[in-house]
């Protein structure tokens, strides 16, 4: 642990730095994450610390944070205790159930750090065990399981315009909006928070995807992620889109989903959906974490 240092907080307030923390940073189709290795489960990550680490000006910067720890350190986990657990937090510090891009980045981090042997790994998450295959060519396949498409639509409103959206549960909540011919995906202010009705449909918030059909099996997507805002990609969002589009069109894929950060392919199997896309570990370093109370 580094000696206390005086630093300046996000609002110009002097704070004592509580420790120097090693971190890595990775991204999958532009969806980027701060990664912390915490074998013994000793890091006391408060929402304030996560928010600071994910801040792009005062911290490291990222759409979310991935803590790699043993499943035995997660009180609610009742499976194998020796598994690696992906403890995922949104950029606002809130805990999230699942992240498809994060899962691929997490697996690549484990591989590069020598924390797994071989190219396959089962990863513990808040929505169960997920199988991941590292191909060695820069792409990774993550099995995300089944997606539940609801037939009770909700209404999503953005910038004074409203659309009917399809709710999809991929372990976390999504609302998929298929745009019409008069809609321009590139012009939508997706960075602003959309609203939805009824509010009771998503009491804990929702990820909202706006989708443009290119051709059968091929779509473009932008997303407003719960607890983050607009991101360059959302892995579970691409699965939600594939599931919603399959239900709407009868085309069972594969689905090619173009996002601002690149391209993801979603395949359907007997066990659900699998996500295929790149993952890169870009940075290793140390950061002085301030005492945020």
CATH number of the domain to which 36 belongs: 3.10.310.10
Residue 292: the pLDDT is 77
Q: Quote the CA–CA distance of 261 and 244 in Å, as a whole number.
A: 21
The band of 293, judged by pLDDT with boundaries at 50, 70 and 90, is: low
Is the domain of 84 the same as that of 178? no
Is the domain of 252 the same as that of 220? yes
Q: Is residue 41 part of a domain?
A: yes
pLDDT in tens, 126-140: 999 999 999 988 899
Q: Worst-scoring range by mean pLDDT, 12-16, 39-43, 184-188, 200-204?
A: 12-16
Supply the range of the domain harboring residue 43. Answer: 5-145+279-290
Q: Is residue 65 part of a domain?
A: yes
Query: Where is the binding site, in residues?
Result: 31, 90, 100-101, 172, 207, 225-226, 235-236
Is the domain of 176 the same as that of 138? no
Across the range 264-293, mean pLDDT stands at: 92
pTM for this one? 0.90
pLDDT of 247 > 80? The answer is yes
Residue 18: the pLDDT is 56
Active site residue 234: yes
Q: Is residue 95 part of a domain?
A: yes
User: Of 102, 110, 38, whose CA–CA distance to 67 is shortest?
Assistant: 38
Residue 124: the pLDDT is 98
Is the domain of 182 the same as that of 196? yes
Q: Is residue 221 part of a domain?
A: yes
Active site residue 54: no
- C-alpha distances out from residue 113 to 18, 117, 188, 238, Å: 26, 10, 40, 28
Across the range 25-50, mean pLDDT stands at: 95
Q: Quote the CA–CA distance of 191 and 121 in Å, as a whole number.
A: 35
Residue 108: the pLDDT is 96
Residue 11: the pLDDT is 37
Q: Look at the block and give the residue holding tokens 């995922």.
A: 88
Is the domain of 191 the same as that of 72? no
Is the domain of 285 the same as that of 240? no
Across the range 226-244, mean pLDDT stands at: 96
Is the domain of 118 the same as that of 171? no
Residue 6: the pLDDT is 29
Query: Where is the binding site for substrate, in residues?
Result: 31, 90, 100-101, 172, 207, 225-226, 235-236
pLDDT of 5 > 70? The answer is no
Q: Quote the CA–CA distance of 2 and 76 in Å, as a whole number.
A: 32
Q: Look at the block and give the residue holding tokens 């809609």.
A: 183
- Other Cβ atoms less than 10 A from the Cβ of 150: the count is 16
Residue 290: the pLDDT is 84
Number of separate domains in the chain: 2
Is the domain of 114 the same as that of 154? no
Is the domain of 124 the same as that of 185? no
Q: Which of 37, 96, 99, 228 is catalytic?
A: 99
Is the domain of 222 the same as that of 285? no
Q: Quote the CA–CA distance of 75 and 45 in Å, as a whole number.
A: 15
The band of 276, judged by pLDDT with boundaries at 50, 70 and 90, is: very high
- The end-to-end CA distance of the chain, in Å, is 18
Q: Which of 234, 241, 245, 289 is catalytic?
A: 234
Helix (H) or strand (E) holding 153: none
Q: Is residue 274 part of a domain?
A: no
Q: Is residue 273 part of a domain?
A: no
User: Of 95, 90, 125, 119, whose CA–CA distance to 107 is shortest?
Assistant: 119
Across the range 224-231, mean pLDDT stands at: 96
Q: Quote the CA–CA distance of 200 and 204 in Å, as a whole number.
A: 9
Is the domain of 237 the same as that of 92? no
Residue 199: the pLDDT is 96
Angle between helices 100-112 and 235-249 (to 10 degrees): 140
Q: Is residue 159 part of a domain?
A: yes
Is the domain of 111 the same as that of 213? no
pLDDT of 14 > 90? The answer is no
């Amino acid at each position: 642990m580094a000696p206390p240092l005086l630093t300046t907080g996000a609002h110009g307030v002097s704070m004592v730095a509580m420790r120097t923390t090693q971190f890595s940073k990775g991204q999958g189709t532009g969806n980027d994450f701060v990664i912390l290795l915490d074998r013994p489960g000793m890091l006391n990550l408060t929402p304030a610390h996560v928010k600071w680490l994910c801040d792009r000006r005062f911290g490291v910067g990222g759409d979310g944070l991935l803590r790699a720890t043993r499943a035995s350190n997660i009180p609610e986990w009742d499976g194998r205790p020796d598994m690696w657990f992906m403890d995922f937090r949104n950029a606002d510090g809130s805990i999230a159930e699942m992240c498809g891009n994060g899962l691929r980045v997490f697996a690549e981090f484990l591989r590069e750090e020598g924390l797994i042997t071989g190219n396959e790994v089962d990863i513990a998450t808040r929505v169960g065990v997920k199988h991941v295959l590292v191909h060695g060519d820069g792409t990774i396949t993550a099995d995300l399981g089944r997606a539940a498409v609801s037939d009770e639509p909700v209404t999503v409103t953005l910038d004074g315009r409203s659309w009917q959206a399809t709710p999809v549960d991929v372990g976390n909540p999504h609302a998929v909006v298929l745009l019409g011919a008069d809609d321009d995906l590139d012009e939508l202010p997706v960075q602003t928070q959309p609203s939805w009705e009824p509010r009771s449909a998503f009491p804990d918030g929702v990820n909202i995807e706006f989708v443009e059909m290119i051709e059968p099996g091929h779509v473009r997507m932008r997303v407003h992620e719960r607890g983050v805002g607009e991101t360059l990609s959302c892995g579970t969002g691409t699965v939600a889109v594939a599931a919603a589009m399959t239900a709407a069109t009868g085309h069972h894929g594969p689905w090619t989903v173009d996002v601002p950060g690149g391209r993801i392919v979603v395949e359907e199997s007997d066990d659900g959906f699998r996500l295929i896309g790149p993952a890169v570990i870009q940075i290793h370093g140390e950061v002085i974490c301030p005492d945020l109370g």
